[in-house]
Every structure is written in C-alpha cells, then in structure tokens.
A and B are shown apart, each in its own frame.
Chain A
Amino acid sequence: MIDLTPITDHWSDLVAGFQMTLQLSALAWGLACLTGIGLTALRAGGPASVQLIVAAYVDVMRGMPSLVLILACFYLLPETGLYLGSVASGLAALSLYYGAYMSEAMRGALAVIPAGQWEAATSTGLRPATILWRVILPQAIGPMIPSLTGLTIGLFKETALLSVISVPEFVFQAKEAISDSYAPFQIYAFIALVYWGTSAAIAYGAGMMERRFNRYRAAQPALRA
C-alpha cells in the first residue's frame, strides 16, 4: 500500500498551490489572448515597419526557451524600475511568450479564409468591423480551436516553471512539502496526476467547443478540403 501521509499532511498547502496554478493559468491565458489579438491585428493592418517588428518579436519568442524569458522578466523588469515581484514577472513572461504563439495560431487560421470573402462582404457594403465579426471570425474560430487548445494546455503546464522564481504555485508547494517530509516520488506522482486530470478536462472542454463552432461545417465538407 502506498503511504499517503506525505500528501495528507500537506494537503492545505498543496490545495493552495493548485489554486494558485489555476489562477495564474487563467490570468496568463487571458493576457496571452489579448497579446495575441493585438499582435495579429498589428501584423494584419499595421504599417510595414510595425509588421516587421512584430514578425521579429514572434520569431525571437519562438526561438527562445520559456524558462530564459521567465528569468529575463524576473531579473530585468526591476532594472527598468518596474518592481513587480515574482508573481507578476512570471505572468508577464508567460503572457509575452504565449501571446507570440497565439498570434501565430490566429494568423494561420485567418490566412485560410479566402480573400474573396472580404471582397464579397465589402462589395455588399458591410463595414470592416461587421465583416470581421459576422463573416470572418465565425469561420476562423472553429479551425483555430485545436491549436489554441494545445497552447492553452501548454500554458497551463508551463506555469510549473514559475516555481523556479519562487512563485508559490503547485510545484513550489510540492517542493516545500518534500523538504518537510522527504517523500519526493509520492508527492510528484500525486501532483502529476492532478495536472494530468486538469489537462484532460481542458482538452475535453475544448473538444466540445470545437464541435459547437464547427457544427455548420458538417453540411459542407467540401470547404474543408
């Protein structure tokens, strides 16, 4: 029988850590989505110089390990006079990092929509905002969901790296519990199961969303080819 006392002894700390992980994931996700939307808009409609800068930013983010960016935000933001503390530095790093990846996913999904859709909508006199909201986005969101789901689960798992800069999230609390009980394997196995279950729940929820957004597509499979 597996000894569960290392886990039950530190139950309240572990629960607090997991709550922190969920809060960080939700906040960083929201901020990353906003960053992604902003970058996508700049890349689609900004002046050429801005488009170049955005493309360079996305490339640098994609070529860099997230841990290095987390350390950079942690060490360098205070140097610019922004004393944010480790939680906010971590949030900034994850949002900047995943924002770049999200803008790539959004750009990819928008690029699939034929230019004729814009032209047709414009010729019927729709305003650009209406075209985006009523014509383009309903078609783009469904195909965007699989890659955004992957990024969401990635972001959720990546919050574990914030333990390195002492954010009191799930892994950090697990480490604390281990330094007290010295039962690393049980505790890491336990938190792994919790992460696994949560990732599965995110994937399940996203699958339902995807079916909902793609429901009208079933009638016209030729469009997907």
Chain B
Amino acid sequence: MGEGLNELAAGLLATILLTICAAAVSAAAGILVATARLSGRKLLGIPARIYVSFMRGTPVLVQLFLVYFGLPALGLGGHPFAAASIAIGLNSAAYVAEILRGAILAVSPGQREAAEAIGLPPARFWRRVLLPQALIAALPALTNEATLLLKTTPLASAVAVTELTFSGQMIIARTYQAGRVLALVSLGYLILSFAITRASALLEHRLALKSGT
C-alpha cells in the first residue's frame, strides 16, 4: 500500500493539472460562445446555440471519444491528456457560456447607456464595466461549475490518462484492495472540491470588497 500511496499522490496531481487545463479551455471557449450568443447576429448565434445544445445533450464520455479519435484527423493525435483537457473543457464551456450569458444580461441596461453617454468605446465598456460586474454575479454558479468539472475528470481514465481514478483502478487491479483505495480516491475528490469552494468564497469576498458592495 505504501507504493500505492505514491501512485495515488501522482494521480491526484494529474487530476489537479487536468482540472486546471480543462478549466482554461472551458473559460476561453465559454466566453467565446457567450459573446457569440449575445452578438445578436444569426450567423454567430445559431451555431453557438447548436453547440450548447449538443454539449448538454450528449454524454461527456462520447464527446471525449469524439475528440480523442477526431484530433488525429487534424494532425494532433496521440495525446490523451490534451484530448481529455479539450473534451472536458469544451463540455464545461457550454454550461459556462449559459452562466455568463445570464450574468451579462442581468447587468442593468442603464450601464450601457451611461457608458455610451460618456463616449466609452464598446471594448472598454465590456472590459471595464460589463465583465467585472457580470463575473462577480456569476461567481457562485461558476464555482459550482468548477466542482462539476472536477468530477468529470475521472472520465479521462477511459482514454488512459493516469489521473486519480485511473491510478486507483490500477492499484485495485494489482492489490484487490478496492475498499481502501476507493475511499482514498473519494477523499481526494472531496478535498479538491472543498478547496475549490473555499478558494471561490475567498475570491468572492475580495471582489466584493474591491467593488465596494
């Protein structure tokens, strides 16, 4: 079991790394999809809606296999970790996009009018006025989404990424100590999701202080 602990620790680290990479993909794609849906242009809005509907209507496992077997066709094959980060991130992006869209729509229209009245360019209005307010409003939902993303990362084991769950499965195959190993694996996820919620609560507190609300 001593050697197994090292393996589990390495797996935990891989899970953390996978969560961070997938979250980066999710944030970038989520912002793109949200802005496409809010652009008011059908050419952007309709593909974005189809994207969200597909990502929410199909199993992440199938999406992961599509990315994993689709990437080689684009000349980017053979990297399970990258495929898992992209697939899990793109899936989460659909939910992030809807959260951001809601939060952006919730910012009062008076803000836009005021920004126009003082002649603020639209890009600065987005960066300085709209997004800061929308992000604070969206933070609780985004935190929830981050913990959901964390709980999706075990699927990467299906394409042989040695993250926490896969390390656990390998130890079980060798030692038959399923009970102890799975208890440790679950504990790992519980600690990580607790860490995400705590970090987000701290961030929320700081942002609230900064914006003076």
Contact = CB atoms under 8 A, between A and B. Distances in A.
B59 A158 contact: yes
Interface stretch (B4-12, B21-29, B61-69, B202-210): B61-69
> Which 7 pairs of residues, A with B, have the shortest CB-CB distance?
A75-B178, A199-B57, A160-B59, A184-B69, A65-B151, A157-B59, A67-B154
Contacts of A79: 178-179
A67 B155 contact: yes
Interface string A69-106: 00110011001000000000000000000000000000
B104 to A, nearest CB: 21
- Interface centre among B56, B59, B179, B182, by most chain A C-beta atoms within 10 angstroms, is B59
Contact of A171 (B53, B54, B59): B59
Given A63-B147, A65-B165, 16 more contacts: A65-B153, A67-B155, A68-B186, A71-B169, A72-B178, A76-B179, A157-B59, A157-B60, A160-B61, A171-B65, A185-B73, A189-B66, A192-B58, A192-B63, A199-B56, A203-B57
Interface stretch (B108-116, B117-125, B126-134, B187-195): B187-195
- Interface centre among A65, A153, A163, A191, by most chain B C-beta atoms within 10 angstroms, is A65
Secondary structure type dominating chain B contacts: helix
A67 B165 contact: yes
Interface string B153-193: 11101100000010011001000001100100110011001
A11 interface: no
Contacts of B178: 71-72, 75-76, 79
B179 A195 contact: no
Secondary structure type dominating chain A contacts: helix
B78 interface: no
Interface in B70-86: 70, 73
Contact of A164 (B57, B60, B158, B168): B158
Contacts of A191: 62
B152 interface: yes
B207 to A, nearest CB: 25
A225 interface: no
A64 B66 contact: no
- Interface centre among B65, B70, B150, by most chain A C-beta atoms within 10 angstroms, is B65
Nearest to A200: B57
A64 B186 contact: yes
Contact of A195 (B58, B154, B165, B172): B58
